[in-house]
A and B are shown apart, each in its own frame.
Chain A
Amino acid sequence: MVAKNKHNEIIKAESRDLNFFYADGTQALKNVSLPVYENKITALIGPSGCGKSTFLRSFNRMHDLYPGNRYDGQIILYPDNTNILDPKVDPIEVRMRISMVFQKPNPFPKSIYENVAYGLRVRGESNARVLDEKIEEALKGASLWDEVKDRLQDLAFNLSGGQQQRLCIARALATDPEIMLFDEPTSALDPIATVNIEELMSSLKDKLSILIVTHNMQQAARISDYTAYMYLGELVEHDKTGTIFTKPSKKETEDYITGKFG
């Protein structure tokens, strides 16, 4: 099943009336309905605590790791037309198709090679030639290959912060995901590394769909096709990035974007 919007853009996944409750009872998301378009970058902006990270982490069922959390509503993944929040859905299968890059680079205590190989090994791949090929492809895709090709066996921690984050992107890329989630991927990086990651994200959207949480409004304006503004767990407004940043339809969005609030 293929779902499309009025501009004939393909919807890769969408949340429908998504509510989320943390174990202590706080409701972090309130009836959020938002599409993620194929081969587009969708940015989530909003002040701290507005639920944008909570929303992002629902897409790969990260909340399942902590007991007591509860989802209510749907996140539908196409073309399967499956609600990935359904208890009958295996979160591991979801994570195999929807990968994630975190705020702080979190490489594993392994070599550069083994970091990228991890997802493939988890999926049972052990053929050295296939691994070599996939790893080179992923590292090239993350524009890291030229910097590390001579030291693939070095410990990943020896890389700089920006390189580590690109390694984490390569790691997520190696398994050919359909959607990639970015949770403030540049907030721990310097401006030059940030530019590298932004360029990388723009180049990645040919292959997959991207959902990114960012605190940096310029970043959202620079790289995203769609922007969603969230506040206090609710989706206030969602539109093409150009529209959101030039003529938002809601006063609250305009106040946040112009810096009067937030």
Chain B
Amino acid sequence: MNIVSMQETTISPELAKKFSRNLIERLIEFGLLCSAAFAVLITTAIVYVLVSEAIPFFQHVSLYDFFTDTVWTPNYSIKHYGILALVSGTLTTTFIALFVAIPLGTITAIYLSEFASHKVRETIKPVLELLIGVPTVVFGYFALMMVTPLLQKIYPDLTTFNMLGPGIVMGIMIVPYIASVAEDSMRAVPMAMREGAYAMGATRFQTAIRVITPAAISGIVAAYILAISRAVGETMIVAIAAGQQPNFTFNPVESAATITSYIVSVALGDLEHGGIGYQSIFAAGLTLLLMTLSFNIVGHMARKKFAERY
């Protein structure tokens, strides 16, 4: 090994570290850190409130009953706190929404990214984004006054309050989210990949389905995760059009309450602060948070598994 002897050096003032430049850099870095920390702080605060309010609830109701009982009747004389009655409503409406939104949103994204001309894309995209801006309460009445009556013409036994109508409307509401995120990720696929596919004699459809979609799959999965979280957390549409009757069923033509619609109905009613009914909304909220969290984790893992490099 060669050992090079070190030469005596001085630090010339021009090359020396500048105090003021250093200070400004540090201040900026601190400012950025604060903004980033804010989001984490808020999340932590929400979890803290949920947990601290749910703890007294679980001193009354055992975790076992909470997760196995299928009846939710906090307002009746015989009180039951079986969250499954609300989870079933949440899962059913979410599933219906995704059943509508995933195919529609994905097809829209493929069309916009791979088929539409510049002009068509610039017309459709703003309209889709407008759909994102529609207040959910409007969607709720749309489900109750338009979609359910329409469905009743096909299926006359359908009750006024049911999960099918709001589920479908929720799906329509989510379409632009999926379309927008998925389209962005498809457009980010390098042109070289498309040229490669076309040069092999592929049609536009073959290129879109066999090359571009797999290349953009991690973004498409991200869009689906966003859609699931949006559907699980959606409140107004189901509160208005699904009926607020907790009901352990996965049958879409029945009426039911979701976790969110229960929380909103209780929170709007006159409830004694600190009572068990009041605390139950925090337990329900905590369940909702855990559901969203687990969907996100599964989605994150799926994204990692499918992640394609190009």
A residues with CB within 8 A of B? 60, 62, 65, 67, 92-93, 95-96, 99-100, 102, 104, 106-110, 118-119, 121-123, 155, 157, 168, 171-172, 175
- Give every chain B residue within 8 A of A104 (Cβ-Cβ): 192
* Dominant SS among interface residues on chain B: helix
Return A185 CB to nearest CB of chain B, in Å.
13
Question: Do A65 and B196 contact each other (CB < 8 Å), given the known contacts A92-B203, A110-B214, A157-B309?
Answer: no
Using an 8 Å CB-CB cutoff, how does the interface string of B187-222 with A read, 1 for contact, 0 for none? 000101111111111110010001100110100000
Contact yes or no, A119 B201, CB < 8 A? yes
| Chain B residues with a Cβ closer than 8 Å to the other chain, count | 24
Residue pair A118, B210 in contact (C-beta under 8 Å): yes
Q: Are A171 and B200 in contact (CB-based, < 8 A)?
A: yes
- A contact residues around B211 at 8 Å (CB): 108-109, 118
- Between B196, B201, B214, B309, the greatest number of chain A beta carbons within 10 A of the residue's beta carbon is seen for B201
Flag whether B129 is at the interface (Cβ < 8 A): no
In the complex, how many residue pairs between chain A and chain B have their CB atoms under 8 Å apart? 73
Judge whether B122 is part of the interface by a CB distance below 8 angstroms.
Answer: no
Chain A neighbourhood of B195, CB < 8 A: 62, 65, 102, 106
A99–B200 alpha-carbon span in the complex (Å): 6
B310 in the interface, Cβ–Cβ < 8 Å?
A: yes
**A95, A119, A157: the one within 8 Å of B310 (CB):** A157
Give 7 A-B pairs besides A92-B203, A108-B196 with Cβ atoms closer than 8 angstroms: A60-B199, A99-B200, A107-B196, A108-B214, A109-B217, A118-B210, A157-B308
Q: How far is the CA of A65 from the CA of B195 in the complex (A)?
A: 8
Any chain A CB within 8 A of the CB of B117?
yes
- CB of B200 within 8 A of CB of A122, answer yes
Interchain CB contact under 8 A, A106 and B117: no
**Please, how many angstroms separate the alpha-carbon atoms of A62 and B206 in the complex?**
16
Cβ contact within 8 Å between B197 and A108: yes
What's the nearest-Cβ distance from chain B to residue A117, in Å? 10
Contact B308 A109 (CB under 8 A): yes
In the bound complex, do residue B201 and residue A96 qualify as a contact, i.e. CB atoms below 8 Å apart? Answer: yes
Q: Which of A96, A100, A108 contacts B215 (CB 8 A)?
A: A108
- Contact indicator B201/A92 (Cβ below 8 Å): yes
Contact A95 to B199, CB < 8 A, known contacts A106-B193, A108-B193, A109-B214 = yes
Q: How far is the CA of A108 from the CA of B194 in the complex (A)?
A: 9
B29: shortest Cβ distance to chain A, in Å? Answer: 35
A80 to chain B, nearest CB (A): 16
